[in-house]
A and B are shown apart, each in its own frame.
Chain A
């Protein structure tokens, strides 16, 4: 079974530029998560999708971050404009459903450096 795919793996941009990350979840997984992991911290949820609807985006900085999951499969996360503090690893995860005992499977992450 293929895992969660993410691209790019690494990205370096200058502040105020824009950047987009892509995630392809495990086939059949209805729930998709984007987490932000700042160096030295645990991952924190940015946004959660159930199929193509948003379940939780309370921690997403909506003035600069946006995300979509068209057709309930792939997802993109965009930052525009980027700030220095956005330097982090962006992890995508998927699960069969939103139940709190459901296992989440993580992709390898996209490491973003904002200069």
Chain B
């Protein structure tokens, strides 16, 4: 069965510190993977996506993610977190019909 697991429900980091959000997926074929961010009261915004090629993907707002097939992971990283990055982050895998299967999300809190 296709699924996505985000092991960390809540993460707190200090402003300026580095960030890594974990994502593990289960998918039978080559996965299409996405990271979305959701700010309070808003819809989801795409940060980046992977479906082939270079396993290190660059996204918007200084985020990047690395696809590791051997670990079934697609972790999101940012070298220096800003207060405006506080939000909820969702990892998702694209199914054959196009629908997205989301993880439960990780809430990021940024300390000043």
Chain A interface residues toward B at CB < 8 A:
4, 31, 33, 35, 40-45, 48, 55-56, 91, 93, 95, 97-109
Q: Are A43's CB and B100's CB within 8 A?
A: yes
Sampled A-B contacts (16; CB under 8 Å): A31-B98, A33-B99, A42-B4, A42-B92, A42-B104, A42-B105, A43-B90, A45-B99, A48-B99, A97-B98, A100-B95, A100-B96, A100-B97, A103-B46, A104-B46, A104-B100
Interface size class of B (residues with CB under 8 A): 20 to 34
Q: Are B49's CB and A100's CB within 8 A?
A: no
B96 smallest CB distance to A (angstroms): 6
Q: Are A43's CB and B44's CB within 8 A?
A: yes
Chain B interface residues toward A at CB < 8 A:
4, 32, 36, 41-46, 49, 51, 90, 92, 94-100, 102-105
Q: Are B98's CB and A108's CB within 8 A?
A: no
How far is A109 from B103 in the complex, measured between Cα atoms in Å?
18
